[in-house]
Structures are given as structure tokens and as C-alpha cells.
Amino acid sequence: MNKPDSHLFVIFGASGDLTKRKLVPAIYSLYVQNLLPDNFTLVGVSRSELNDSSFREKMENAINQFSQINNFSRIEQFLQKVFYISMDSTKPEDFDFLKNRLQKLRTEFKINSNTIFYLSTPPNLYSIIPHNLAAHNLNNQKDGWVRLIIEKPFGNDYDSAQNLENELIKSWDDEQIYRIDHYLGKETVQNLLVTRFSNGIFEPLWNRNYIHHVEVTSAESIGIEDRGVYYESTGALRDMIQNHLLQIVGLIAMEPPSSLDPSAIRNEILKVFQSLRPIKEEDVQKVSIRGQYIASRIKGEHVSGYREEKSVDSNSTVETYAALKFYIDNWRWGGIPFYIRTGKRLPTTVNEVVIHFKKTPHFLFSKDREVNSCNQLVLRIQPDEGILLKFGMKIPGAGFEVQTVNMDFHYSDLSVDRIPSAYERLLYDAMKGDTTLFARIEEVMAAWKFLMPVINGWKNNKKIPLYGYSAGTWGPEYADKLIEGENMSWRYPCKNLADDGVYCEL
């Protein structure tokens, strides 16, 4: 693969969790695979009182702990390219210092003006930092490219996202702004495109004539960990559905793009978002479920409830579970419900799409077993990445007893040593200037527009319950009621873990 142009990679928020867990390990992986340019420098920026050597030490530990690549022999060499600047990014005057230091590094490492600024800071700095950079002419592309990568959430609702965008475009061109959604960097998410468009057998079935409904699940067994402050202003709907899960829906529901050109793919995804049937505020209670985990015992151990977590209000009404039912009004999907759900402290960590096919028009065999409703294509995004097809088979012996069997492909069966991390892929793409896997502003705005009635309904209508669910269970049991149809429920890849599942209204 071609190496990107030489450049400086500057991370704002360098003492934060994302930098240590994902960004630096991903950049190290690229380095080990010789995918970084020879002239390359990584600069961490944050308020913490660190210097080059203490930052390098932290990053060394981070790589040892979080790197997915099993080659630690080049860490020392890599760290020689790593530097640190302690500054307050809300203070314009600190940017003079940043500018000087970057200039010195450019001279020392023979790097022209090419620069990536990565914002991994609290979202309230997403307009301040780009503004301060521009005020110091650090957005100028006269002598080389300058790119700005912005972490999610892009805004906290429709209006704030629009305001952020308006601020950014005062001094940055749209082509300089990379809105990252790390789900798009996951191999298995990209494989949704390949599964659909490289196999002739799926396309004829991929529509309202053969599909009964589509289910998208992103379950996590972890709670909110140390992210109380962030989560209190976010919640499950904004944290996962507005971005990651709707992007997956976009890939599942899109029309075939005319080519792999970034704009061809993004245009098709945008059309899906624009076809989402608007949810009326008065219907929010019918089409959505929200929940919050409460304390429980899992295998005899006490697990805290959300309201007991660090930095969380003891009366918080922020949802840690969200499920939605909606429709896509176009020819392919007219009348077919989509169900999406996400939650923290569920029994397992799993991300999957389930395509539920319609029953055969007339079932010839034993009516005792409901296999006929069980044709499912499960696209497992993580973990145990793969594809599973469930279909009916004759049980050997007399008569025509049918049972559901699995045809199961696991990525681990491929002879690849590892699946590259999402950040590895996306950072490399940003270094190369490839925007295919980054969200366009129109998509971000369409996703906010779609979700605003739910956000407003949950905020304004006190009658819409916030259900408590025991940590270690599959979220509010009422979520099953969202799914239309006899004997139908979500797919539960494993059982509840909590010793006693409790469901209540909070």
C-alpha cells in the first residue's frame, strides 16, 4: 500500500481515554506495518502537566496494554516521533506557542505544512479549537493540506449540530473536515457492503417482498465506566443510535452505489436517511423504549446501578438502553419495520444485524415447530465476526420433521492474523485523504432530524416511562412489545445474567 504524504498528526485531548486506548495504539500499528510516512510526527496536546518524556512513557504503557498488533519491538523507535505540548486550548494566546512548536518540529523532521488535527476533547471544545487554529492561520492549505478530524457526538441535537457546523465552515472548507464514526472503520461493517453487492444471491431477496423485518442490536456488558460526565449529557440514543446504528442501517438499506467512489456511497446512505419516515412526537411512546440499569447481583457479585456510578446524578433520567421501531419509506423497504436497540450492562457484548425473512406462503411440514418463521441471516459485526444463516432441514428418519440449523461462517476461519482496528483503518484513510468512511454533514443532520421527535418526546412527555432493568439483563422486557407479530421478539444470543431480573418504572 502507498504511504501517505509526510505530515504532523496533532491530537487534542491527548491525556484522555480515547488517545490511550485507541488512537495511539492504532497509529503504532500503522507504524509497525510501515504505513506511516518516513517523515511523521505525533504531537499530543492537552492541559495535563506532562512533557515529551512523561507522555512517551504513558503512550508506551498504552501501546503495551491496548495494541492489537503483536509486535512490540519497535516501540522505542516509534516513541522518538512522539511529542507533547501542554496548553489550554480555550486560550487563544496558547496557540502562538503551539504554532511555534509545530514549526520547529516541521523543520527538525523535514515536514511541510501537511497536518491532521484530531479533536478527541470534550465536545464543548469542538468549535473553540478549530476557531483558535484558524485565528493562527493553522488551517491554511497554501503549502500543504490541513485536515480536522472530529470525534462524535457532532452536536447534542439538531440545532447544536447546525450551530457547530456553521461555526466550522466560517474558517474551514468542508473537504478539510472529517467527521469520524468509528463503526464505519470496522471491517465487518464494511463487509455489509461486500456481502450485499458481491453476491448475486442476496440482492433479489433484499426487499419488502421477502424480508419481514430487520433487527440491529448493539449490546454492551460494560456500564458507563468512568464516563459519567459525558454520559449524563448524552444517553444511549445520542451515544449509539444517532451515529453508529443509523450508519449500519444506512449500509443495510442503501441502493447499490454506482461505484466505490466516496460520494457515490455516501449519496446512497444519505438517501436512506432522507427516506426515514418521520416519527410524530405523539407516537414516541408507541415506537420507542428507554431504560436505565439498576443495581443487581451477577454471579453473586453486586453490580452498581447507573445512578450510583461516578459523576452521575442520583436522580438521573438519562437512558442507558434505547430501542426504536421505524420505517424507511421507499420502494425497497415500504412497510417493513426496522428495530434497533442498544444498551449498557446487558448480558453480553454483541453487535449484529438480523434479517428476518418472511414465512413461506404455505408450510407443508409439521406445524408443531415454528421453523418456518426462522429463516434469518445474522450478520455478526462483533465479537466472533461472521455470518450465520438459519434455515429448515429435515430431521433424518420417518416423516418430515423439520428443524432449524445454522450455516455459520466465522472470520476467525480466514487465514488472516487479525482484523485491523476501526481506528487504524480510519486514521490511515484520513492520512490519505480518503473520505469514504467519514460521515457527511448532510447525513449527520438527517440523523438528528429523524431523532429529534424522540429526544423531545422523552424530554417533554412525562408519561413516557423510563424503565429500570437489572444490570445483566436484556433491558426492559417491554422492549419485546415493540416487535410486531405473533410469538416474535428480539433475538437473544444468550440468557440474562442477573440472579434476579427486576423490571420496574423509575
Q: Which residues are catalytic?
A: 244
Task: Find the shortest distance in angstroms from Cβ 231 to ligand BG6.
Answer: 7
Query: How far from each other are the two terminal CA atoms of the chain, in whole angstroms?
Result: 54
Query: 430-456 as b/e, with b when 16 or more CB fall inside 10 Å?
Result: bbeeebebbbbbebbbbbbbbbbbbbe
Query: Residue 425: what are its φ and ψ, rounded to 5°?
Result: -65, -45
Cα dist from 8 to 2, 101, 346, 462, whole Å? 18, 12, 40, 50
Which CB atom, from 222 or from 364, has the smaller least distance to ligand BG6?
Answer: 222
DSSP state of 328: B
Of these, 215, 239, 424, 443, which contacts ligand BG6 (CB under 6 A)?
239
Cα dist from 91 to 97, 133, 135, whole Å? 11, 11, 12
Which CB atom, from 13 or from 337, has the smaller least distance to ligand BG6?
Answer: 13
Which CB atom, from 123 or from 453, has the smaller least distance to ligand BG6?
Answer: 123
Which runs of consecutive H residues, i.e. helices, occur in 145-186?
158-171
Nearest to 165 by CA among 184, 150, 183: 150
Query: Residue 90: what are its φ and ψ, rounded to 5°?
Result: -85, -10
Task: Find the shortest distance in angstroms from Cβ 351 to ligand BG6.
Answer: 6
Which CB atom, from 77 or from 349, has the smaller least distance to ligand BG6?
Answer: 349
Cα angle 288-293-299, degrees, rounded to a multiple of 5: 135
Task: Find the shortest distance in angstroms from Cβ 303 to ligand BG6.
Answer: 17
Other beta carbons less than 10 A from residue 370's beta carbon: 12
Report CA torsion sign: 261, 263, 267, 270: positive
Task: Find the shortest distance in angstroms from Cβ 216 to ligand BG6.
Answer: 13
Which CB atom, from 227 or from 332, has the smaller least distance to ligand BG6?
Answer: 227
Nearest to 499 by CA among 320, 341, 307, 303: 303
Number of residues in contact with ligand BG6, rule: CB under 6 A?
3
DSSP state of 279: P
Task: Find the shortest distance in angstroms from Cβ 452 to ligand BG6.
Answer: 20
Task: Find the shortest distance in angstroms from Cβ 239 to ligand BG6.
Answer: 5
Of these, 220, 268, 319, 352, which contacts ligand BG6 (CB under 6 A)?
220
Which CB atom, from 211 or from 444, has the smaller least distance to ligand BG6?
Answer: 444
Query: 289-300 as b/e, with b when 16 or more CB fall inside 10 Å?
Result: bbbbbbbbebee
CA distance 344 to 220: 5
Task: Find the shortest distance in angstroms from Cβ 430 to ligand BG6.
Answer: 17
CA distance 147 to 118: 8
Other beta carbons less than 10 A from residue 416's beta carbon: 10
Query: Using the rule CB under 6 A, is 165 a contact of ligand BG6?
Result: no
Binding letters toward ligand BG6, positions 316-355, x by CB under 6 A? -----------------------------------x----
Task: Find the shortest distance in angstroms from Cβ 232 to ligand BG6.
Answer: 13
CA distance 9 to 89: 16
Which CB atom, from 251 or from 336, has the smaller least distance to ligand BG6?
Answer: 251
Helix (H, G, I), strand (E, B) or coil at 191: helix
CA distance 234 to 230: 6
Q: Are 256 and 47 in contact (CB under 8 A)?
A: no
- Which residues in the 114-133 window bind ligand BG6 by CB under 6 A? none
Cβ-in-10-Å burial (0-12, 13-18, 19+) of 174 comes to exposed
Among all residues, whose Cβ is closest to ligand BG6? 239
Task: Find the shortest distance in angstroms from Cβ 359 to ligand BG6.
Answer: 33
Query: Which positions lie near ligand BG6, rule CB under 6 A?
Result: 220, 239, 351
